Each structure stands twice: as structure tokens, then as C-alpha cells.
């Protein structure tokens, strides 16, 4: 149980284009999902918290107009990197928290490696 699917696993795009990343909880309902960014050999940096049916909460320094988050259902959240630039190249990971349990365990997707040319 507690499987989180993230798609795509790797995407290459041209500068100026937009890229959408999907995060799905496959066997549980996730009222809250989280989006992280990870640089090589560094820890996870929380970008935003995504709550089903409401606006995402962004961490300080994260541009909400650049990183659009939508959490339209209890099993799906999407992150859209708009007008991507080379400095947006990174590893993006989502996680989902099981809304039915009292334990605050986040289960992670496999991540998406974004390369902007």
C-alpha cells in the first residue's frame, strides 16, 4: 500500500516552454500533497503544500506564478513549471500524506528530472 506515482520521470524541454508533472496517490486518498525540489547531493527543499480543493501554500522564495500547482482531486496533484529556463533544471519530487490516518507519514513519488535546454 501507500504508493505514489509521479509522471513523467524525465523530461527535456526548450527554454520558454511549460512542463506539467503529475503526482497520483494510487491506493489512498491524499488530502495533502507536497512538492519538493532537490539539487544533486542535497536534501529535499519544500516548494509548496497542495491541499485538495484549495489554493496551494508556497514556501518563502518560491514563485507561485512560475510553479503552478493544482490539486483537483484526492488522488491527483499537478505541478506546472511555466516558461521554464535552464535554472529550473532540477529533480522535482512529490509526496502525499494519507488523509485517513493519524500518522503524518509522507509517501514519495519517484521524482521527475527536468532538463531545460
Nearest alpha carbon to residue 52 among 39, 69, 67, 27: 69
| Residue 45 CB neighbour total at 10 angstroms | 15
Residue 67 engages other proteins in binding (rule: CB under 8 A): no
Residue 19 engages other proteins in binding (rule: CB under 8 A): no
| Those residues with Cβ within 8 angstroms of residue 63's Cβ, 6 or more apart along the chain or in another chain | none
- Interface residue with other proteins among 21, 93, 114, 116 (CB under 8 A) is 93
Residue 56 engages other proteins in binding (rule: CB under 8 A): no
Grid cell digits, residue 27: 491506493
- Interface residue with other proteins among 1, 14, 41, 86 (CB under 8 A) is 41
What residues line the site for other proteins (CB under 8 A)?
Answer: 2, 4, 6, 9, 32, 34, 41-46, 49, 93, 95, 97, 103-111
Amino acid at each position: 500500500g501507500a504508493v505514489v506515482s509521479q509522471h513523467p520521470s524525465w523530461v527535456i524541454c526548450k527554454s520558454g516552454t511549460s512542463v506539467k508533472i503529475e503526482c497520483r496517490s494510487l491506493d489512498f486518498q491524499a488530502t495533502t500533497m507536497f512538492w519538493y525540489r532537490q539539487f544533486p547531493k542535497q536534501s529535499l527543499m519544500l516548494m509548496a503544500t497542495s491541499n485538495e480543493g484549495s489554493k496551494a501554500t508556497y514556501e518563502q522564495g518560491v514563485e507561485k506564478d512560475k510553479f503552478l500547482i493544482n490539486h483537483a482531486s484526492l488522488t491527483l496533484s499537478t505541478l506546472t513549471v511555466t516558461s521554464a529556463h535552464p535554472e529550473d533544471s532540477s529533480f522535482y519530487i512529490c509526496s502525499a500524506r494519507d488523509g485517513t490516518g493519524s500518522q503524518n507519514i509522507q509517501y514519495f513519488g519517484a521524482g521527475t528530472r527536468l532538463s531545460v535546454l
